[in-house]
Chain A
Amino acid sequence: MQKEEFLQHMSAMVDLDEGTLTGLEKLEDLEGWSSISMVAFIAFADEHFSKRVSPRDIAGAETIDDLAGLVGL
């Protein structure tokens, strides 16, 4: 998966329109980032990257780009 597609998926996870994320956004500044987004990210990483991401890994991420790093993008 390319970065652009990743950002599209992330938009869905934080309830934003497609094409609005750049990657630099801080998670704490995103209104749609919630505990459900975290669960969604874990399921997404598993389904699309076969990566096991833990809640602890996510807690250590500050930006959308940090999340990209967790799945190796």
Chain B
Amino acid sequence: MNHSLFEMSGKTVLVTGASSGIGRETAILLSIMGATVVLTGRDTGRLEETLSRMAGDGHKVEPFDLGDVDAIPAWIKRIASQTGPLHGLVHSAGIQHTIPLRVLSAAKLEEQMRTNFTSAVMLLKGFRQKGCVAPRSSVVLLSSVLGLAGQPAVSVYSASKAALIGFARSAAVELAGEGIRVNCVAPGYVETEMAGEIRTKMTPEQFEAISRLHPLGLGTPGDIAHSIAFLLSEAGRWITGTTLVVDGGYTAH
């Protein structure tokens, strides 16, 4: 086995959602694997905290509100002009609202679609620009098991995560000739801030029920970061347009 396939030194990766949870853990892991990481999120303090836990140097903190979708491509161009071409993009920024249809407003729908999905499209549009992307690169979008299987009160979140799966397929085909691989990772329930927030809205019995749906138990951010790193690395060079489900068995039954 060629271990250097997992080597990330000399590679620059942009990670969204790097101020928390899965994005934070991914940034830390990539730094340990040798990558230079550009960390983004809205909260500078929490981005700096991620940075303080990373290995190596040369990483950059670039706060940005991805809700400003039209500004994303120019923002990526500016970053790449400072870091050099990007080898990877991880889109872990996302929001999950638990709202049953009976009280859902179009505004809440659009906020979730914009943060989870529209931003991903504009990130990839920016990433593929000439001068921004290295000759061989890899993009990982964070979908969810809820993009594959249903639950009550999360229909719009599910739709936004399913949209990423469809988008990754066609984008993978469109961008293969440009040397860009595009994949999704679909996690089950991982204990992060997002998950903690959702947990406060459940009774202990409801939480126990969710736990039981995962035969291997609940996941950790590290479980997801490892899969992301695999898809980013040369070990995943023949994988594109797919969704890697990392869910402790949630979708197995």
Cβ distance B32 to chain A, nearest Cβ, rounded Å: 36
The answer to whether B100 and A55 touch across the interface, beta carbons within 8 angstroms, is no
Q: Which residues of B have CB within 8 Å of A54? A: 200-201
The answer to whether B201 and A15 touch across the interface, beta carbons within 8 angstroms, is no
Please classify the interface of chain B as helix (H, G, I), strand (E, B), loop, or mixed, using the class held by over half of its residues: loop
- The size bracket of the interface on A is 10 to 19
Q: Which residues of A have CB within 8 Å of B201? A: 39, 42, 54-55
The answer to whether B200 and A36 touch across the interface, beta carbons within 8 angstroms, is no
The answer to whether A40 and B202 touch across the interface, beta carbons within 8 angstroms, is no
Q: Residue A73 at the B interface, CB < 8 A?
A: no
Beyond A47-B108, A55-B206, whether A40 also contacts B200 by CB under 8 A is: no
1/0 per residue B193-221: CB within 8 Å of A?
00000001111001000000000000000
**Residues of chain B from 75 to 124 with CB closer than 8 A to chain A in the complex:** 97-100, 102-103, 105, 108
Q: Residue B153 at the A interface, CB < 8 A?
A: yes
Beyond A36-B152, A36-B153, A43-B97, whether A15 also contacts B203 by CB under 8 A is: no
The answer to whether B206 and A43 touch across the interface, beta carbons within 8 angstroms, is no
Q: Which residues of B have CB within 8 Å of A44? A: 103
Q: Which residues of A have CB within 8 Å of B206? A: 55
The answer to whether A39 and B108 touch across the interface, beta carbons within 8 angstroms, is no
The answer to whether B102 and A12 touch across the interface, beta carbons within 8 angstroms, is yes
Cβ distance B178 to chain A, nearest Cβ, rounded Å: 41
The answer to whether B103 and A9 touch across the interface, beta carbons within 8 angstroms, is yes
1/0 per residue B146-186: CB within 8 Å of A?
00000011000000000000000000000000000000000
Residue numbers of B with Cβ under 8 A of A are 97-100, 102-103, 105, 108, 152-153, 200-203, 206
A-B pairs, top 9 by smallest CB distance, nearest first, are: A43-B99, A55-B203, A40-B103, A40-B100, A39-B153, A36-B100, A42-B201, A44-B103, A39-B100
